[in-house]
Amino acid sequence: MSATIIDGKAFAATIRDKVAGHVARLSEEHGITPGLAVVLVGEDPASQVYVRSKGKQTVEAGMSSYEHKLEEDTSEADLLALIDRLNNDPSVHGILVQLPLPRHIDEDLVINSIDPVKDVDGFHISNVGLLGTGQKSMVPCTPLGCLMMLRAHLGNLSGLDAVVIGRSNIVGKPMAQLLLGDSCTVTIAHSRTRDIADVVRRADIVVAAVGRPEMVPGDWIKPGATVIDVGINRIERDGRNVLVGDVDFASAGKVAGAITPVPGGVGPMTIACLLANTVTACCRVNG
């Protein structure tokens, strides 16, 4: 292993401390406590873990956490009615509907029913449009965390070649927009990309967000490149259940200049950025 390990866990802890400082000042100087409502529909085990973790860290930062756990067979109309109540509740500054939703619910309809000012995920179509046109917007948490780590490690990103592997609305597309905003030359690679190894090999920055265990081997990585691994995949290895990323850490770590580990890289940054977005939403509403 020659690469520098980018410690997302430590970085996230510094962001959480800053957020807690802001929250304390908002409370002392303005009597306001930021509030985050998280809505979970159904019993998806991974989503339950994420939601629990979000609630715990929200409270630890001094904010109010409102958890709404709904049955798997909740109707779309009932979910929309809950969102309407949260949109109109002044103690709720941020709303997050955990994805994926059950198949009978229209995800786009639900996301776009959230007040864009309270859309701490940055998934509402108006926030997507603002980001795409370089205007002030709520920025999706995972790509925001990746950008913060890249800036901290590399400084100015201007002119660098960046490849984002994966074209999801949650990570790939907003990540590409953020890198473009920092003047990178951006390529989005995906399952239909021809000669993907050659495309990735040109990149100074690689962000892997495909959800396929260890898909990116070390020989796809340009020597010295910075590699951000968004994947969190559970696999069986040597009879044990382990978490691995989308990048083969062992081989990529020998070639890259810097790399994020899994776990302990992007994951902790996502929730830290969610807390930061909630404070941002609170400050925008309260001037």
Which residues does the annotation place in the binding site? Answer: 166-168, 232
* Number of residues forming the site for ligand GUN (CB under 6 A): 8
Active site residue 48: no
Q: Which is nearer to ligand GUN, 26 or 51 (CB)?
A: 51
Contact region with ligand GUN (CB under 6 A), list: 22-30, 93-101, 151-159, 197-205: 93-101
Active site residue 54: yes
Which of 96, 147, 225, 228 contacts ligand GUN by CB under 6 A?
96
Give the closest residue to 146 by CA, choosing from 196, 70, 209.
209
Which of 99, 154, 196, 243 contacts ligand GUN by CB under 6 A?
99
Residue nearest to ligand GUN (CB): 99
Contact region with ligand GUN (CB under 6 A), list: 97-105, 180-188, 196-204, 229-237: 97-105
Active site residue 98: yes
Which of 119, 121, 229, 246 contacts ligand GUN by CB under 6 A?
121
Q: Using DSSP, state whether 135 is helix, strand or coil.
A: coil
Q: Name the binding residues for NADP(+).
A: 166-168, 232
27-46: contacts with ligand GUN (CB under 6 A): none
Q: Which is nearer to ligand GUN, 228 or 258 (CB)?
A: 228
CB neighbourhood size of 275 (10 A): 29
d(CA 228, CA 226): 7
Closest approach of ligand GUN to the CB of residue 211, in Å: 10
148: phi > 0 → left, psi -120 to 50 → alpha, else beta; which? Answer: alpha
Q: Which H, E and C letters describe 173-222, residue by residue?
A: HHHHHHHHHCCCEEEEECCCCCCHHHHHHCCCEEEECCCCCCCECHHHCC
Instruction: Decide if residue 278 touches ligand GUN (CB under 6 A).
Output: no
Query: How far from 205 is each of 132, 161, 185, 201, CA to CA, in Å?
Result: 20, 6, 10, 10
Q: Could you please report the per-residue DSSP string of 50-111?
A: HHHHHHHHHHHTT-EEEEEEE-TT--HHHHHHHHHHHHT-TT--EEEE-SSPPTTS-HHHHH
Closest approach of ligand GUN to the CB of residue 44, in Å: 9
Which of 41, 83, 138, 141 contacts ligand GUN by CB under 6 A?
141
d(CA 93, CA 56): 17
CB neighbourhood size of 245 (10 A): 29
Asked whether the CA dihedral 209, 212, 213, 218 is positive or negative, the reply is negative
User: Looking at this protein, which amino acid is placed at residue 276?
Assistant: A
Pairing relation of β-strands 94-97 and 35-41?
parallel
Q: Which is nearer to ligand GUN, 121 or 214 (CB)?
A: 121
Instruction: Decide if residue 277 touches ligand GUN (CB under 6 A).
Output: no
Q: What is the residue whose two structure tokens read 């929250």?
A: 23
151-170: contacts with ligand GUN (CB under 6 A): 170
Closest approach of ligand GUN to the CB of residue 106, in Å: 15
Q: Which one from 57, 118, 119, 121 is the annotated catalytic residue?
A: 121
Contact residues: ligand GUN, CB under 6 A: 96-99, 121, 141-142, 170
The catalytic residues are 54, 98, 121
